[in-house]
Chain A
Amino acid sequence: MKKATWGAGVVAAGVALLASPASAQTVLTTAPLNVSVTVGNQARITLTGSVDFADADPDVFPTLTATPLDVQARARVAPATTVNLTVMGGASHFDPATNTIPVANLTWTSTGTGFTANGTMSDAAQQSVGSWTGPGAHSGTQTYSLVNSWAYAPGSHGMTLTYTLSTP
């Protein structure tokens, strides 16, 4: 008899537990998890295309124009940090042996937000291509032009232009 009575008591307690109303969720417990993200300075310049000037009659084409060069400058920096993109010629002349085509005869116009509208190449100082504030990816084009002169020495000449993305 005692056993039966105790058994009924256990069942009654169980029923009481299960009879909780199915209402809104009640918070049983909480736990925190800490998250940290490191975003470091990063920079990349992407140039798509090439700058080629085909031979042409100086009288007919006093200025040679190359196919536009796609320029993408990406920089991840702190907010309010100035990002500068510059370019500099690798030599004073395209033809170092004869020195008839000065680097300053190479000019350009640009499109794209933050890109300098136009410029003249130099081997003595960095020339601004664009400037922005804070992090971002900036795309634009540069269209190079070269003065075409009868004074140029015949031949195929080249020069390396170095682009630099920097912060002050």
Chain B
Amino acid sequence: MRHAFLAVWLAIVSAVAALAQTATATMAVTLNSVARVSFSTLTVAFPDANPDAVPQVAAVPASIDISAKARAPRNAQVTLTLQSEDDLRSGITVLPASLITWTATGAGFVGGTVSPAAAQLVGSWTGSGVRSGTQSFRFENRWTHPSGTYTLTLVYTLSAP
């Protein structure tokens, strides 16, 4: 009987000891800054036009959809800029990239003028999120432009602190 009692007591003590144990676990959550800029098209073109009739040539397509996705620190300012790699070039003939301007729609998106010298603001927002807007490009058409087919590449940059 005493043995039996002892055995029961030990079992209870063991159970209590088990309930009093603590355990720790460490979880590491790695949230890298992730960003993505995408467009509805990767090419815009300005067709030929009479400078008198069309002093400002609209691009084709008339507007492009832009999606800027960024995961950034809270309250951090996320900015989307564009900068042309060069002026407009057709062989050795050069036209200023600043002949191209744009208007924008969408919260946080702004209009501007293309420049190869400095990044131009396309939009700015606070914190993480997906921002959608449009850009409509125009080309200043002049009689003094030498004829030719000119190209340039715009580089969009999404950045955050």
Residues of chain A having any CB pair with chain B under 8 Å: 1-2, 5-6, 9-10, 13-14, 17-18, 20-42, 44, 74-79, 134-137
Contact yes or no, B25 A6, CB < 8 A:
yes
Interface residue? B74 (CB, 8 A): yes
8 further interface pairs, Cβ-Cβ under 8 Å (given A27-B159, A32-B153): A6-B27, A13-B31, A34-B153, A35-B45, A35-B46, A38-B46, A74-B143, A137-B144
Contacts of B157 in A (CB 8 A): 27, 29-30
* A35-B29 contact in complex given A1-B22, A25-B159, A135-B146, C-beta closer than 8 Å: no
A148 to chain B, nearest CB (A): 38
Contacts of B39 in A (CB 8 A): 31, 33
* A26-B161 contact in complex given A5-B25, A31-B38, C-beta closer than 8 Å: yes
* Shortest Cβ-Cβ A-B pairs, 4 listed: A28-B35, A40-B48, A13-B29, A25-B159
Contact yes or no, B28 A79, CB < 8 A:
no
Contact yes or no, A76 B51, CB < 8 A:
yes
**Centre residue among B34, B74, B143 by max chain A CB count within 10 A:** B143
Contacts of A23 in B (CB 8 A): 161
Interface residue? B79 (CB, 8 A): yes
Complex CA–CA separation, A89 to B28 (angstroms): 90
Complex CA–CA separation, A31 to B81 (angstroms): 10
Complex CA–CA separation, A28 to B31 (angstroms): 14
* A2-B154 contact in complex given A40-B48, A77-B146, C-beta closer than 8 Å: no
Contacts of B24 in A (CB 8 A): 5
Q: Classify chain B's interface size.
A: 35 or more
Contact yes or no, B147 A37, CB < 8 A:
no
**A-B residue pairs in contact (CB < 8 Å), sample of 15:** A2-B23, A27-B159, A32-B42, A32-B153, A32-B156, A33-B44, A35-B137, A35-B152, A37-B57, A37-B151, A38-B48, A39-B48, A74-B143, A134-B146, A135-B146
Complex CA–CA separation, A137 to B143 (angstroms): 6
* A33-B149 contact in complex given A10-B29, A136-B144, C-beta closer than 8 Å: no
Contact yes or no, A25 B79, CB < 8 A:
yes
Contact yes or no, A76 B143, CB < 8 A:
yes
Query: Could you say which of A2, A22, A137 contacts B161, with CB atoms under 8 Å apart?
Result: A22
| Per-residue A-contact encoding for B42-70, CB less than 8 Å = 1, 0 else | 11111110111000010100001000001
B136 to chain A, nearest CB (A): 13
Complex CA–CA separation, A165 to B138 (angstroms): 29
Contact yes or no, B31 A17, CB < 8 A:
yes
Contact yes or no, B22 A37, CB < 8 A:
no
Interface residue? B110 (CB, 8 A): no
